[in-house]
Amino acid sequence: MDKFGFTISEGRQIDYESNDRRIAEYIFDREPSFRLCIECGGCSATCTTGNFTDFSLRELNILIKRGENEQVREKLKKCMLCGKCNLVCPRGVNTRNIVVLAKKAFQKSDEYAI
Amino acid sequence: MGKHVVVIGGGVAGLEVAGQLSKVGIQVSLIEKDSKTGGNLNKWYKLFPDRRKSSEVKEYLNGITANDGINLMTNTSIEMFNRHRDHFSIITSGGRELIADAIIVATGFDLFKSARKEEYGYGIYDNVITSADLEEMFSRGEISLINNTIPEKIGIIHCVGSRDEKVGNFYCSKLCCVTAVKQAIEIREFLPESKVFCFYMDMRMGGVFYEELYREAQEQWGVSFIRGKVSEVSETIDNQLLIKVEDTLAGRPLKMKFDLLVLMAGMEMSEGGRKIAGIGGLRTGENRFFAANDNHFGSNISNIEGVFYAGTCTAPMNITETISHARAAVIEVIDYLKDSN
């Protein structure tokens, strides 16, 4: 009760400079097609997981690129790696591999270990 | 009897019109307000989509002025023109009277004056520049900040003065997106260590080879595209530029720092064009460009018989479209002069 029931909301703003984008760099290096995403949402629309939960691969791509790693780690767990997203991507992004690489990257990093 | 046409404006459209008219033996007086021809093309170093040097295109266009039958009048503007029964009387800034059978208006566009978007800090912060300023840097062969250091992180802001009712321009200038992509590639080519970010509302890549260029920017040059309209720019204590934008695809506000910001200035009806519209009683549209008689069949035809339009005085157009529009204007004029005999 020392705060008299008050809390301070955490900021929602993405602070690009202070975020850690090593996960994104790890994926860019190994799957260059990651750069080609135009955020059309085709992957999210076809995604079975996305039809039953709030998982969105399009959103995940953005969060990885911005270095919002805490959120990425939680969301990654939902993907079943079926690869349907790969089939619909109009830009030929190897979407499934992005998830695979993100999982690997997290495993390499103690801080973000899944 | 020989026919005489006055062409107002010596940019891409005016030059092409003059060249085509002279080919069919029509006398042309080409009126240019500046000391040299070429118009807005003179501000550009390289052109999309193939990054061809603008000097090549200028060489072709400026060469036209040597054609027989073209009387080029530089440093000249139009003060007045009147339609008489079968001809026009035109008074130039030098007080000279020209008698013409027809007029082609090719007054082009002006780049949006970016200082009007005060929140982006053009003219306030040294390292906020426009697309035209960047072209000048490319021409000079150096991209540097005001303190002569090399920028590492560069932001490109799309839609400055376009699709923005706050500045009275609700239309899309349609060329700035591809210009941003072209310039992003050029920056990366010029400064291989740099990082480039484009902030867009929509990527309007509706021209031949535009989408390919966009893809190249992502794939080969690692340019990042972030969807969101930058709301404001402020300077930090260490002379960086802090922007605020909503990352609309993440659904969250985003802040980011840059060394250099490039504003993609849109296209507006030129001041020269507005003056001509005023003195000639030519109809303009809500977007302030000259209004075509018919959107499908009469884009070169004005509300005054014998006055025709060519190029970007009617709408934003790229060079390819401008050349086509200029040639179409010539066909309309030939048709008109034939009937007026």
On whether both B171 and B290 belong to a single domain, the answer is no
* Chain A positions in Cβ-Cβ contact with residue B215 (cut-off 8 Å): 36, 91
Query: Is B249–A38 a contact, with Cβ atoms under 8 angstroms apart?
Result: no
Domain range holding B78? 4-108+270-339
* Chain B positions in Cβ-Cβ contact with residue A75 (cut-off 8 Å): none
The residue of B255, B258, B259 whose CB has the most chain A CBs within 10 angstroms, and thus the best one to mutate to test that interface, is B255
> How many structural domains compose chain B?
2
Query: Is A63–B256 a contact, with Cβ atoms under 8 angstroms apart?
Result: no
| pLDDT tens-digit readout, B102-156 | 999 999 999 999 999 999 999 999 999 999 999 999 999 999 998 999 999 999 9
**Mapping DSSP to helix (H, G, I), strand (E, B) and coil, where does residue A107 land?**
helix
On whether both B159 and B17 belong to a single domain, the answer is no
Measure B223 CA to nearest chain A CA, in Å: 8
On whether both B124 and B259 belong to a single domain, the answer is yes
CATH number, domain with residue B81: 3.50.50.60
Could you tell me which chain B residue has the CA closest to the CA of A58?
Answer: B249
On whether both B284 and B244 belong to a single domain, the answer is no
Domain range holding A63? 22-108
| pLDDT tens-digit readout, B18-72 | 999 999 999 999 999 999 999 999 999 999 999 999 999 999 999 999 999 999 9
Could you tell me which chain B residue has the CA closest to the CA of A15?
Answer: B255
The interface pTM score, or ipTM, of the predicted complex is 0.75
On whether both B229 and B310 belong to a single domain, the answer is no
User: What gap in Å lies between CA B333 and CA B319, rounded to an integer?
Assistant: 21
Return the beta strands (E) in chain B as ranges. 4-8, 27-31, 46-47, 52-53, 70-73, 78-83, 88-92, 97-100, 102-105, 109-111, 128-130, 153-160, 195-200, 224-227, 232-235, 241-247, 252-258, 260-265, 267-269, 307-309
Q: Is residue A72 part of a domain?
A: yes
| pLDDT tens-digit readout, B190-242 | 999 999 999 999 999 999 999 999 999 999 999 999 999 999 999 999 999 99
Q: Is residue A39 part of a domain?
A: yes
On whether both B123 and B89 belong to a single domain, the answer is no
On whether both B161 and B245 belong to a single domain, the answer is yes
Mean pLDDT of B280-300: 96
* Chain B positions in Cβ-Cβ contact with residue A28 (cut-off 8 Å): 222
Helix (H) or strand (E) holding A15: strand A14-15
User: What gap in Å lies between CA B177 and CA B183, rounded to an integer?
Assistant: 10
Q: Is residue A113 part of a domain?
A: no
Q: Tell me, rounded to whole angstroms, the distance of Cα B52 from its chain centroid.
A: 17
| pLDDT tens-digit readout, A11-47 | 889 999 999 999 999 999 999 999 999 888 889 989 9
Query: Is B218–A62 a contact, with Cβ atoms under 8 angstroms apart?
Result: no
**Mapping DSSP to helix (H, G, I), strand (E, B) and coil, where does residue A4 land?**
coil
On whether both B133 and B257 belong to a single domain, the answer is yes
Tally Cβ neighbours within 10 Å of residue A19: 15
| A2, amino acid identity | D
In chain A, residues 38-77 whose CB comes closer than 8 Å to chain B: 38-39, 58-59, 62-63, 65-66, 68
Q: Is residue A89 part of a domain?
A: yes
Residue B327 contacts by C-beta under 8 Å, 6 or more apart in sequence?
B16, B20
Measure A1 CA to nearest chain B CA, in Å: 32
Domain stops at, among B266, B291, B321: B266
Q: Is residue A1 part of a domain?
A: no
Q: Is residue A17 part of a domain?
A: no
% pLDDT > 90, chain B = 95
* Chain A positions in Cβ-Cβ contact with residue B203 (cut-off 8 Å): 38
Q: Is residue A51 part of a domain?
A: yes
A4 class by beta-carbon count within 10 Å (0-12 exposed, 13-18 middle, 19+ buried): exposed
**A26-37 burial, b if ≥16 CB within 10 A, otherwise e?**
bbbeebebbbbb
Say which of B219, B227, B252 has its CB closest to residue A14.
Answer: B252
> How many structural domains compose chain A?
1
Cβ-Cβ pairs closer than 8 A, A with B, add up to 45
Query: Is A62–B250 a contact, with Cβ atoms under 8 angstroms apart?
Result: yes
Query: Is B253–A14 a contact, with Cβ atoms under 8 angstroms apart?
Result: yes
Strand partners, B89: B82, B99
Could you tell me which chain A residue has the CA closest to the CA of B224?
Answer: A35
